A and B are shown apart, each in its own frame.
Chain A
Amino acid sequence: MKNFIDRRLNPKDKSLGNRRRFLRRVRGQVKASVDDAIRNRKIADVDRGDKVGVPADGIREPRFRYEPGSGRVERVLPGNKQFGVGDRIRKPPQQGGGGAGKQGSNDGEGEDEFAFVLSREEFLDIFFEDLELPDLIKHTMKEMKTFKPRRAGYSVTGSPSNLAVTNTMKNAMGRRIALRRPSNAEVAALKEELFKLEKKSEPSAADRKRMKALREEIEEKNRRRAAIPYIDPLDVRFKMFDKEPQPNANAVMFCLMDVSASMGEREKDLAKRFFVLLHLFLTRRYDKIELVFIRHTHNAQEVDEDTFFHSRETGGTVVSTALEEMRKIIDARYPASDWNIYAAQASDGDNFPGDSDRCLAFMREAIMPLVQYFAYIEIIDEAEAEFLLSDETGVELWTTYKKLTADWGNFAMKRISRPADIYPVFRELFARNARESAHA
């Protein structure tokens, strides 16, 4: 009549498919709020999932229903304290209505929001969609940490696939010897002897006695064999594995940005996406990443993230100051032997006349030998992007940096005017890393 079933180990997340369908439906609004998150969050927090509100309009589930409060309303309410028949009660203000007491049923202006929480995965999906990353890279970047299983001795519990056969058998044998379990051979020898005696046509008295003794002995041995199992659950051993995190070195990421007046909101937003993407990429490879923000006008200084993105400076533009500042910080805090150094620079391409040569020289001598990767993006107008087609021409800093690409494989540069342009900057980097890990 009854049946208990333990379903706790059944897969959960049965609703995942429906959740995905729902997100597809509200994609537009969710994207807007993801963009918002990128603008407002710290680089290292960007990939955290978070609450998102979307207007309930596209996801209403309409039904034919009565307008609350329309027509004649008749209701029974509990908890009468002072009313008598004929008393009049003023209707509560039109909202929850004297009617059905459901919220969200008010039409007209009532644009209630539907709020929910995006998971980290979903958040990244939408973020990546914007950057037009290929699937393979999206996938690898979402992996949080990699662990390698490492043998860590034996245990008495485990899954059958990890059964340590040799150890199990060794234990079984030891136990059998210790408990003196008769072996097959022993029994067989006794049986043999008995058989021989039984074959005698005229057994002597001694033979008979011997036969009786043999039978008893065989019986006793068989009893012992049955009582002492060949393999007991006590003998079973499993290989144990520890999950060992992959050894990961530390990394530091330098964010360099021109903050002179020519860098507006749009430019800073694009720059931020660029930094976020590099950071996401680095989180995949390194356990610990430090972020250093260097902003510059005609002089450079290290600032915190908030100042970096939100405060404005006025002044000229001397790029080399930022590079020098970076070198100074590297020398002081991040020796290249202990740290993997990554740098990302964003600018609108302006530089003080004559400074570019200085930059070039400094990069060659002092920066590029130390860093794993240096990415430079020049943020331009969409209108500009249409005629700046050739990589060869460009403003001063661009042409100068161009010369670096030939010598340094770990230097990448790109003009961007839309978020989708950002990814190609990293294409090389990803390709290289994919090759490296394939070798490893």
Chain B
Amino acid sequence: MPDATQTKKSPAKRKPRKAAPKKPAYLFEGPDWSFDTMNRTYAAIEEIALKELGLDIYPNQIEIISSEQMLDAYASTGMPLMYGHWSFGKSFLSEERLYRKGLRGLAYEIIINSSPCISYNMEDNTMATQTLVMAHAAFGHNHFFKNNHLFRMWTDAEGILDYLEYARTFIADCEERYGEREVERILDAAHALMPNGVFRYERPARPTLREERLRHRERLAQEEAEVNYLWERLQAKQRRKGAGRRPVEQVDPRSQIQMPEENVLFFLEQYSPILANWQREILRITRHIAQYFYPQRQTKVMNEGCATFCHYYIVNRLHEKGLITDGALFEILHQHTGVITQPDFDDPRFSGINPYALGFAMMSDIKRMALEPTEEDREYFPRIAGAGNWQDILKNVWANYRDESFIQQFLSPKVVRDFHMFSLQGEERSRYYTVNGIHDDRGFRTIRNTLARNHDLSVIEPDIQVVDVDFLGDRSLFLECHMSDGARLATRDRDSVLRHVETLWGFDVELDEIGASPGTGADVS
């Protein structure tokens, strides 16, 4: 069979001949990708990322998925192993419809803060896009996840996939035992409280997955004796009282509970008088997941800025080294520009400050200040201006700040000018907004402070606290919400969430809005 040997050999022969005359061989040419080109490109990116930028990353696991799978991943908040809930079905249906109608493209990638760091790349991407995506996600985001202090403090990259797996089996198990509806009732309530299910200031000891499983087993073992010890004690006390013997020390059960408590889900999990153990475990799961996502919500600008800055630097370096073609660079730059577009406030496309644009602009500006400082920079940022070592400065920034503090510290007058930013202020009763700062010397600080506040979760999200429980009376639960700037809660949502809290608490729940402005007409509904 001479035929066979020939066909086998020929491609191997052809390759070196083709590569030989051109000295700086491109990593890839043309739009098609293969695992071979991906591997080569990854290696080239890695060289730049680790040696020149000095990034520090988790091992990467890059998975190629189809567009249907991307839609699936969208629906479950990007997590590969999410438990079942109708709300994920809802988001799937709406994403699918938008996508089919062509109203929205799919993301090029999704990345998960885990170790190994999993990123999903779409198979429809061209090789140029795959290059962009790898530089952006597998290096930019990955470095940020591994190094930012919020992620280091609050998330367990090593454990999250195992934990989600555990959560999914646990919830599926509950559905089998107690019925889908019963589980859904608890999950609905828990989801409504997820933003109020995080510890903001102090992280409790983190149990490992083994401990978690062990605890779960113990809980099941105790299934029968599921009464909360506080209530038990209370009843015992009342029994004693009934027998006519006055207790020596009347301990207020409240003294055993730390209140006020900002983590409502945690409070309900620990102290709700009516929940069964499996229900408490579900609250715990949703609370953990909320906590896992909490750093991402606080670092949108920084996270995307870091990834965008990295991919921009890396692909430009690839081009400078003659590793990618002009065409590939243009394609990447076209996408890059799309991502960092900031429409003006009066543009129909405007939907707030684009975190990619702001993050990228600020980080590029830090690099500029380090290398080519102006007089203004020396005045505002004496430590950065002309320092030269922009890689170190940026790495320090990525590690130690979140959006609010990053803006507060590093927003420069130049970025404010480039964006033509201006700040507004308006009382509810007034029919006008007043401009209180524009991109000049005087307005700069106002704009910086306001923008930082706009990115501060504790300002843009209501702060709900559990303040009291009427243990000896009708067991009402009292919540408090301190309103900043005289805002008030959206009535309809507030009432539905309170109903959910009642589901979990079992008795009346009251919410006090402190410092809320008296409602206008909207309050009546």
Question: Quick check: B64 and A88 within 8 Å, CB to CB?
Answer: no
A20 to B75, CA, bound (A): 13
CB pair A73 B426 closer than 8 Å: yes
Q: Are B420 and A81 in contact (CB under 8 A)?
A: yes
Specify which chain B residues have a CB less than 8 angstroms from the CB of A59 in the assembled complex. Answer: 86-87, 90
- B421 contacts A78, C-beta separation under 8 Å: yes
Alpha-carbon distance A51/B484, docked complex (angstroms): 43
The answer to whether B428 has its CB under 8 Å from any CB of chain A is yes
A 38-74 contacts with B by CB, 8 A: 51, 59-74
Other-chain residue from B353, B428, B464 in contact with A72 (beta carbon distance below 8 A): B428
* B428 with A73: CB separation less than 8 A: yes
A88 to B138: give the CA distance in the assembly, Å: 46
Residues of A within 8 A of B517 (CB): 70-71
Q: Mark A72-112, 1 if CB is under 8 A from B, else 0.
A: 11111111110111111111000000100100010110000
The docked-state distance in angstroms from the alpha carbon of A69 to that of B426 is: 9
Min CB distance A96 to B, Å, is 10
Is A208 part of the contact surface with B, judged by Cβ < 8 Å?
Answer: no
Inter-chain contacts of A79 with B (CB < 8 A): 342-347, 350, 419-420
Q: Are B75 and A65 in contact (CB under 8 A)?
A: no
Of the listed stretches B21-29, B238-246, B443-451, name the one at the interface; the rest are far from the partner chain: B443-451
Residues of B within 8 A of A10 (CB): 65, 69
- B92 touching A18 by the CB < 8 A rule? yes
Contact: A18 with B84, CB < 8 Å?
yes
Closest to A61 in B: B87
Known contacts A23-B89, A66-B487; is A74 also within 8 Å of B425 by CB? yes
A22-B93, A64-B462, A74-B423 known; A4 and B485 CB under 8 Å? Answer: no
B86 contacts A91, C-beta separation under 8 Å: no
Set B4, B90, B525: member contacting A232, Cβ < 8 A: B4
Cβ of B497 and Cβ of A117 under 8 Å apart? Answer: no
Q: Is B500 close to A, CB under 8 A?
A: yes
Pair B431/A62 contact, Cβ less than 8 Å: no
Interface residues of A in 171-216 (CB under 8 A from B): 175, 179
B360 on the interface (CB 8 Å rule)?
Answer: no
A4 interface neighbour in B62, B97, B433, Cβ under 8 Å: B62
Task: Map CB proximity to A onto B186-200 as digits: 1 under 8 Å, 0 otherwise.
Answer: 000001101110000
Taking CB atoms, residues of chain A closer than 8 Å to B4 are 232, 234
**List of A residues within 8 angstroms of B347 by Cβ:** 79
Given known pairs A4-B64, A63-B493, the reply for A91 and B432 (CB within 8 Å) is yes
Q: How far is the CA of A51 from the CA of B68 in the complex (A)?
A: 19
Q: In the complex, A22→B437 CA distance in Å?
A: 47
Q: Would you call A91 and B433 a contact (CB within 8 A)?
A: yes
- Kindly state the separation between the CA atoms of A66 and B93 in the bound complex, as whole angstroms: 27
**Given A61-B192, A67-B487, A76-B454, A7–B493 Cβ distance below 8 Å?**
no
Residue in B closest to A116 when the chains form the complex, CB atoms: B93
Does any Cβ of A come within 8 Å of B59's Cβ?
yes
Interface hits, B57-105 → A, CB 8 Å: 59-66, 68-69, 71-72, 75-76, 84-90, 92-94, 96-97, 100
Known: A74-B450, A83-B438. A116 touches B97 (CB 8 A): yes
CB distance from A259 to the nearest CB of B (A): 39
Residues of B within 8 A of A86 (CB): 434-436
Are A76 and B435 in contact, with the CB atoms below 8 A? no
Q: Which residue of B lies closest to A1 (CB)?
A: B59
Do B69 and A76 touch across chains, with their CB atoms under 8 A apart? no
Q: Is B214 positioned at the interface, with any CB of A under 8 Å from its CB?
A: no
How many of B's residues come within 8 Å of A, CB to CB? 107
A437 at the interface (CB under 8 A from B): no
Q: Is the CB of B497 within 8 A of A88?
A: no
B76 to A66, Cβ gap below 8 A?
no
A283 to B344, CA, bound (A): 56
Is the pair B353, A78 in contact by a Cβ cutoff of 8 Å?
yes
Q: Are A19 and B64 in contact (CB under 8 A)?
A: no
Does B220 belong to the interface (CB within 8 Å)?
no
Are B421 and A76 in contact, CB atoms less than 8 angstroms apart? yes
Chain A residue nearest to B88 in the complex (CB): A18
Residues B483 and A71 in contact, CB atoms below 8 Å apart: yes
Contacts of A12 in B (CB 8 A): 66, 68-69, 72
Which residues of B lie under 8 Å from residue A88 when comparing CB positions?
432-435
Q: Does A5 sit within 8 A of B, measured CB to CB?
A: yes
Give the residues in chain A near B216, CB-CB below 8 Å: none
* B71 CB contact (under 8 Å) in A15, A84, A108: A15
Given contacts A4-B64, A12-B66, A22-B90, contact A67 B485 (CB under 8 A): no
Contact A78 B344 (CB under 8 A): yes
Within 8 Å of chain A (Cβ to Cβ): is B386?
Answer: no
Beyond contacts A1-B59, A101-B351, A107-B522: 5 other A-B pairs, Cβ-Cβ < 8 A, are A17-B84, A18-B88, A19-B89, A70-B487, A108-B522
A-B pairs with the 6 shortest C-beta distances?
Answer: A79-B344, A71-B487, A22-B89, A18-B89, A116-B93, A77-B345
Q: Which residues of A contact B (CB under 8 A)?
A: 1-8, 10, 12-15, 17-25, 51, 59-81, 83-91, 98, 101, 105, 107-108, 114-117, 175, 179, 232, 234
Please, could you name 24 A-B residue pairs with CB atoms under 8 Å apart, sorted by A?
A15-B88, A18-B86, A18-B87, A22-B89, A22-B90, A23-B89, A61-B192, A62-B492, A63-B195, A64-B497, A66-B487, A72-B425, A72-B487, A74-B450, A76-B423, A77-B421, A77-B422, A85-B436, A85-B437, A85-B438, A91-B433, A101-B351, A114-B90, A234-B1
